[in-house]
Amino acid sequence: MKEHKHLGCYGLLIEGNKILLIKKKTGPYDGLLDLPGGSLEFGETPEIALKREFMEETGLDITKYKLYDANSVKVEWKYDADTNIMVHHVGIFYKILDYKNEIKKKVNIDCKNDDSLGAELYEISKLKKDDVSAITLIELEKLGYILK
């Protein structure tokens, strides 16, 4: 089986009992809800990558944030009919404390945004393990939430 390492920066925006998640269009989490964020571009700091990815995927301009955690998971990705890839997904996580703009519920796929169909606040108590990406699940559990 092929192996792939992925490093990304992600934001945890929690308001009351809701969390901001994106609907994934591609990759190992295709069709699942995931934390907004993604890969660092060459030469970017994690904070710049976080702000850029958040804007691309959610329409939000992050104005205040705090480093929260770093963690990783391994997930198997059925890339195509003949190829399975074991992905080692490493994330740097920030709590989002303040932002500007409105959440974009629909986002177009283009050269800047290649995997988010839009963002929405979801009630955490209504989420199921099978609804969210592995990286989202471990962070929600670290925050004390238990999904069924």
pLDDT digits (tens, 9 = 90+) for 79-130: 888 899 999 999 999 999 999 999 999 877 666 656 788 999 999 999 999 9
- The CA distances from residue 20 to 45, 75, 77, 94, 143, in Å, are 23, 22, 24, 13, 14
- Rounded to two decimals, what is the model's pTM? 0.93
For residue range 19-74, what is the model confidence (pLDDT) as tens digits?
Answer: 999 999 888 899 999 999 999 999 999 999 999 999 999 999 999 999 999 999 99
